[in-house]
Structure 1
Amino acid sequence: FKSSIQMTAKGFINGIRFTMKSTTIIGIHARLGDVASEKNYRAGYRIPPVQYFKKAIYFYQKLFTDNPVFVICSNNITWVKSVFMTQLVQSNFVLCPEGNSGAEDLAILSLCEHIIMSIGSFGWWAGFLASGHVTYYGNHPAYGSPLAYHISPTDFYPPEWVNITVL
């Protein structure tokens, strides 16, 4: 990352560590963006539902009992605020600043110890750059879809990453 982006990201994460007194920071990449179209849905793209994020959050809350902080980065903050309303009133959930560039969000996520990723290469890189556990949405791509024909989850997701599926 450019030094200015690194400084912004480090300042944000260090501010969380100082004010929240937490040793564990988990990044949540909640992406809607270009995959939220009818064409992409027919191709097999599946946006993780709220249940996926809740299940992944629960996974980390059980794994880390030191009151971990969850940092949510998204290209649709309005959607995040509506979906994560209950969590956002809790002191251990923080939104990335609105208006951040994609590079700033990725730099912030890369400094988190663990990642809850949504779909796509942006979330994948966030998980790859973070130092710890990564959870991914296991219901993507849709079984039997054209996209599933071209993507092998065993090639796309490292074996140590945690597959979380929802019914």
Structure 2
Amino acid sequence: MVIVRLRGGLGNQMFQYALGKRISEQLNTPLKLDLTTILRVKKKEGFTYRPYQLHIFNVEESYLINPKTIRFFNKLHLHFIVEIIKGIKLLGKKKVKEKTFTVDDNLINSPLNNALYSGYWQSEKYFSDAEASLRLDFSFKESLSPQATNILEKIQQTNSVCVHMRRGDYVQNNYFVPMSSDYFEKASTYINDHIKDPHFFIFSDEPQWCIDNIKMDANFTVVDFETEKIKYKEDLQLMASCQHFIMSASSFSWWAVWLSGVKNKITIAPKQWFADQSIDVSDLVGSDWIRL
């Protein structure tokens, strides 16, 4: 059995699931998802908690502990019971913890069975061998809403460029780097120099800020719409439908690029991914990406 502990937002959860899927296939053993950390929601200044979000995909949802059980005891403020159950289920299991941001080759060549994997695992090297099955797993369960479908039609009719402006917690978080207007200006100039008649589709967790502040000497649309469906799922599906990409330093951006089936696309990413410039992101970024 392979167990992966999920934490963070959708992009992080996808990286964690992808690692587990590849190891489970390599070792021919079941994959279990540990939701005990991600479902324990508590307020902490400067940190944004995300719920379990992989349910938007056709992933293999098999859990270490049933999510209903975790939520039941958490609601009663009896999280220690969840910890006891988890401790029993993890008896005899090894724990593999991510030590650095760079790829651990031993984990690729000689993964451990009967183990819990705890980390972020943000590199395609960890799961490239399982790409075919992951593309099936990461297919969307539901079709787009009528509102999102209207935007998709426009994306498909133009030389579409996905521009992801991650703001929200990035603006005040000392760990990440919110992208400057200078970065997006340089990136859009690069696209204009290499693509005929591009249309920029701007996606953001703060679309109103983009409407109020973004001015571009090009055709652009700030994607802002109401939907009865899951908004982040709709955004990711639309982003992945674009032909070219201007990324933020975000795993959500990363997966939009990966999910895109377009060949020979231009992908622009920031040179600085984290506030701490000593963090080596060479295993995270694509070899053909343009860094600005």
Indicate conservation of the 8 Å contact 1:28/1:117, yes or no. Answer: yes
- Cross-structure match for 2:141: 2
- Cross-structure match for 2:184: 53
Residues 112, 162 of structure 1: alpha-carbon distance in 2 compared, 3 angstrom cutoff: same
1:57-96 map, 5 Å: 57-65=188-196, 67-84=197-214, 86-87=215-216, 92-96=219-223
- Deviation larger for 123-132 or 46-55: 123-132
**Equivalent of residue 141 in structure 1, options 274, 279, 282:** 274
- Cross-structure match for 1:33: 168
Indicate conservation of the 8 Å contact 2:148/2:225, yes or no. Answer: no
Indicate conservation of the 8 Å contact 2:147/2:225, yes or no. Answer: no
Point out the structure with the larger helix share. 1
Q: In 2, Cα distance between the equivalents of 1:17 and 1:4?
A: 16
Larger RCO, structure (CA 8 Å, separation 6 or more): 1
Q: In 1, Cα distance between the equivalents of 2:269 and 2:290?
A: 6
Residues 153, 91 of structure 1: alpha-carbon distance in 2 compared, 3 angstrom cutoff: closer
- Cross-structure match for 1:14: 153
Indicate conservation of the 8 Å contact 1:69/1:92, yes or no. Answer: yes
- Deviation larger for 131-140 or 2-11: 2-11
- The answer to whether 1:127 aligns with 2:247 is no
Provide Cα deviations, 1:74-100, integer angstroms capped at 9, x if missing partner: 11012212331x22xx67101212346
Secondary structure of 1:118 counterpart: coil
- Cross-structure match for 2:233: 103
> Offset at 1:126?
1.3
Secondary structure of 1:154 counterpart: coil
Secondary structure of 2:283 counterpart: helix
Q: In 1, Cα distance between the equivalents of 2:147 and 2:285?
A: 29
Paired AA for residue 221 in structure 2: V
Indicate conservation of the 8 Å contact 1:27/1:116, yes or no. Answer: yes
Secondary structure of 2:143 counterpart: helix
Sequence identity percentage: 27
TM-score (norm 1): 0.77
Q: How many positions carry a matched residue from both structures? A: 147
Q: In 2, Cα distance between the equivalents of 1:10 and 1:133?
A: 24
Residues 8, 36 of structure 1: alpha-carbon distance in 2 compared, 3 angstrom cutoff: same
Paired AA for residue 266 in structure 2: H
Residues 152, 71 of structure 1: alpha-carbon distance in 2 compared, 3 angstrom cutoff: same
